[in-house]
Amino acid sequence: MAYFECKMTHVNLKSDMFSMVWPVFALDGKSKSVLDFSYKGVSIKIVPSVLGRATIKDKEVLIYCMSHIMAAKNAKLELSNTVRFNTYDLLKATGRGTSGKEYKLVEKALYRLAGTLITTDYKFNGRRFLESMGLIEGFKLIEGSGLSRWQVTLPDWLIESIDDNDVLTLHEDYFQLSKPFDRRLYEVCRKRCGRPSKQVIKLDNLRERIGIRSSLADLKKRLKKIEKILDYLLKVEGDSLFIFRDTESGRMELAKLNSELFMKRINRG
């Protein structure tokens, strides 16, 4: 199959797990520095292009493509790692406007996605391997009949993520989160607190996962203003963020924590 066309009217939003764990995508378009971190003994480096690192807004293109491919896989349709989509359909699905400026922003996003590389090293059978992977392999514009369509080739590692079901479903209102920080925060919550009704993450760890350099005090101050993000309830206490799923069990866990904190304050008083 030469390519797969994204033309389903409704699909569940999907993201690969790797970029939900680590800050592969920048929160703004100003990030042009190399990002280094380690994961289970493997070093990982995110290398931006001259246009900067791909942003979490640019990630919309990958989410859109992956969501359609995953839906097609579940429907047992023939697949391809090369996809085509109508620019207008992408803009509408992601909640953007449809002005000429928005069309140009999609083009810039594709350039950043193509230019950003993930470099990793790993050992296999006692030998060290170095591998470089792109966020997309390539793209081209196809115009005709008054339509603007893009053809995008996804890298093997993303296709393998789909094949291995190493993807997670995002909330249907994910694209309505207008602030990049909120999107990244939601992704961390979704990955960390998928099945359990409660999870806890240290603020210094959270700062690394979100990919920001602000002080812990500034992060704490910002988080205290966010009591809920989509289907997660949040509470900052001490040097930790408590994450609760917005379910009956999650709300009970939050009430229990609030009760415990109240009693501690009473006893100290």
β-strands 4-6, 82-86: how paired? parallel
Angstrom distance (rounded) from CA 235 to CA 256:
12
Pairwise CA distance, residues 259 & 255, whole Å: 6
Instruction: Please name which of 82, 76, 60 lies closest in space to residue 187, comparing C-alpha atoms.
Output: 60
φ/ψ bin of 71: left (φ > 0), alpha (ψ from -120 to 50), beta (otherwise): alpha
- In the numeric block, which tokens belong to residue 62? 């990958």
pLDDT tens, position by position, for the chain (269 residues)? 688 889 888 899 999 998 999 899 999 888 888 888 887 777 889 999 888 999 999 999 999 999 999 999 999 988 899 999 999 999 999 999 999 999 999 999 999 999 999 988 866 666 766 788 899 999 999 987 777 899 999 999 999 999 999 999 999 999 999 999 999 999 999 999 988 999 999 999 999 999 998 899 999 999 999 999 999 999 999 999 999 999 999 999 999 999 998 888 888 76
Q: Tens digits of per-residue pLDDT, 209-233?
A: 999 988 999 999 999 999 999 999 9
Closest to 178 (Cα-Cα) out of 96, 63, 243? 96
CATH architecture for segment(s) 180-268? Orthogonal Bundle (1.10)
Q: What angle do CA 119, 13, 228 make, to 5 degrees?
A: 95
Domain range summary for the chain, segments of one domain joined by +: 4-173, 180-268
- Assessment of whether the complete model's pTM goes beyond 0.95: no
